[in-house]
Amino acid sequence: MKIAIVCYPTFGGSGVVATELGLELANRGHEIHFITYSQPVRLSQLARNVHYHEVSVPEYPLFHYQPYELALSSKLVDMVKLHGIELLHVHYAIPHAYAGYIAKQMLAEEGIYIPMVTTLHGTDITLVGNHPGYKPAVSFSINKSDIVTAVSASLKDDTYRYFDIRKDIHVIPNFIELDKAQVDPAMPCCRELLAAEQERIVTHVSNFRKVKRIADVIKIFYRIQNQLPARLMMVGDGPERAKAEKLCQKLGLEDKVIFFGNSHEIDRILSNSDLFLLPSQTESFGLAALEAMAWGVPVISTNAGGLTEVNFDGISGYTAPVGAIDELAQKALLILENEVSLRRFRDGALSVARKFDIHNILPMYEVLYEQALAMNPV
């Protein structure tokens, strides 16, 4: 198949999932065209069967905000006609499914039918999409998609709860490439650069938004390090970082917490970690937790949203209610208190991660692609 993938090209989970999906589809012989405003961060180098087309939005003084949706829909039309693209797979209802529908209508005027698969990732439903100003557009975009998927059953339920949806939503979870998430013997060991030999390494990776409850990460770690030697790796950047740094100073943790910002060394950090913290207010799935588990890192998370669908309580780690800092810290100590416990949870984390290997998940998309192509009304 010739498939166009439309996504955000940033560090966020939806862009990572879309990029990794496209690359693996290309490995399986499909021709993949990434269409977005900049090269996706995980698309470090173009491979066979992979093409990237940049969407440029011309500056025009009439517009206070430049109309990206118009530029994207026009680019989609041009690329479909130029490359014979057969199917659109858009990630996020708005603006991508919205722009995809407009492109479908323009192409239909020329007698070209192209189906659209829309994948919902979370923010487009629970935050942005649920804003009254966007709600009608989100409902319209989802209902006009040929096939709709969501990354968790929790997100599927939220979509039906918040919007007037008349489409079936297929749950296809996020995935991990376990082939890549293996310790490379040639990879330089950097554990001694992160912590002393006797210290446990605790890690958090996110975009540092309020929903991630960054202060809870710091408070949980504060309780952990009171009981055993430990250091905290904070990977990512965002609006809550400055507050987190001030909280570390207030609690006297400056020498025990490292803020990396947006790092390309995430795999090296995770491969040397002993525990991953994700005390989010909500998560549609929890891809960061899955990436940690693929390295055999146990997870302490809340039980909000789709987190319980990826972090299996008592097996890959533990879960607790949002804001239950003491309980989350106590459960973290149960994992970290001795090598036997840590090894058991490491093995459990890896066993759960195997269920989400890309080779198990990708065929689910291929089945839906075939169904979408069969919908051709001609």
Q: Under a CB-based contact definition with an 8 Å cutoff, are residues 285 and 13 in contact?
A: yes
Q: What is the mean pLDDT of residues 139-149?
A: 95
pLDDT digits (tens, 9 = 90+) for 175-213: 998 876 554 444 556 788 888 889 999 999 999 999 999
Q: Is the pLDDT of residue 268 over 70?
A: yes
DSSP 84-101: T--EEEEESIIIIIHHHH
Q: What is the mean pLDDT of residues 217-226?
A: 98
Element (H, E) at 257: strand 257-261
Q: Can you list the alpha helix ranges (DSSP code H) found in the chain?
A: 13-27, 68-83, 98-108, 123-126, 135-144, 153-162, 191-194, 214-227, 241-250, 266-271, 287-293, 325-336, 339-355, 358-373
DSSP, res 2: E
Q: How far is CA 141 from the centre of its chain?
A: 21
Report how far residue 178's alpha carbon sits from residue 171's, in angstroms, rounded to the nearest whole number.
21
What confidence category does residue 272 fall into, taking pLDDT thresholds of 50, 70 and 90? very high
Q: Which residue has the tokens 């290997």?
A: 357
Q: Are strands 200-205 and 87-91 parallel, antiparallel or unpaired?
A: unpaired
**Cβ neighbour number for residue 262 with a 10 Å cutoff:** 14
If DSSP codes are grouped into helix, strand and coil, which group holds residue 308?
helix
Q: How many residues does the chain have?
A: 378
pLDDT digits (tens, 9 = 90+) for 296-337: 999 999 999 999 999 999 999 999 999 999 999 999 999 999
The two structure tokens encoding residue 66: 């430049």
Query: Which residues, in sequence order, are CB contacts of 78 under 8 Å at separation 6+?
Result: none
What confidence category does residue 124 fall into, taking pLDDT thresholds of 50, 70 and 90? low
Q: Are strands 87-91 and 230-235 parallel, antiparallel or unpaired?
A: unpaired
Q: Is the pLDDT of residue 129 over 90?
A: no
pLDDT on residue 185:
41
64 or 44, greater pLDDT: 44
Query: Which residues, in sequence order, are CB contacts of 30 under 8 Å at separation 6+?
Result: 1, 2, 3, 49
Query: Cis peptide leading into 95, omega within 30 of 0?
Result: yes
Gyration radius of the chain over CA positions:
22
Q: Under a CB-based contact definition with an 8 Å cutoff, are residues 285 and 123 in contact?
A: no
Beta-sheet strand order (sheet of 50-54): 50-54, 31-36, 2-6, 87-91, 116-120, 147-150, 169-171
Q: Under a CB-based contact definition with an 8 Å cutoff, are residues 81 and 104 in contact?
A: no
User: Mean pLDDT score of the chain, rounded to an integer?
Assistant: 90
Q: Which residue has the tokens 């040397």?
A: 272
Q: What is the mean pLDDT of residues 237-265?
A: 94
User: CA dist 44 to 79, 206, 212, 246, Å?
Assistant: 22, 21, 27, 34
Report how far residue 354's alpha carbon sits from residue 371's, in angstroms, rounded to the nearest whole number.
27
Give the 3-state DSSP-derived string for 171-204, with helices as H, strands as E and coil as C: ECCCCECCCCCCCCCCCCCCHHHHCCCCCEEEEE
Q: Is the pLDDT of residue 113 over 60?
A: yes
Please tell me whether the overall predicted TM-score, pTM, comes out greater than 0.75 for this model.
yes
If DSSP codes are grouped into helix, strand and coil, which group holds residue 312?
coil
Q: What is the mean pLDDT of residues 257-274?
A: 91
Range with lowest mean pLDDT among 158-167, 228-237, 341-350:
158-167
Report how far residue 64's alpha carbon sits from residue 44's, in angstroms, rounded to the nearest whole number.
33
pLDDT on residue 175:
94
What confidence category does residue 26 fall into, taking pLDDT thresholds of 50, 70 and 90? very high
pLDDT on residue 264:
79
pLDDT on residue 186:
41
Q: Which residue has the tokens 């890959």?
A: 316
Q: What is the mean pLDDT of residues 31-55?
A: 84
130 or 111, greater pLDDT: 111
Report how far residue 297's alpha carbon sits from residue 317's, in angstroms, rounded to the nearest whole number.
9
pLDDT digits (tens, 9 = 90+) for 356-378: 999 999 999 999 999 999 987 76
277 or 376, greater pLDDT: 277
What confidence category does residue 28 fall into, taking pLDDT thresholds of 50, 70 and 90? very high
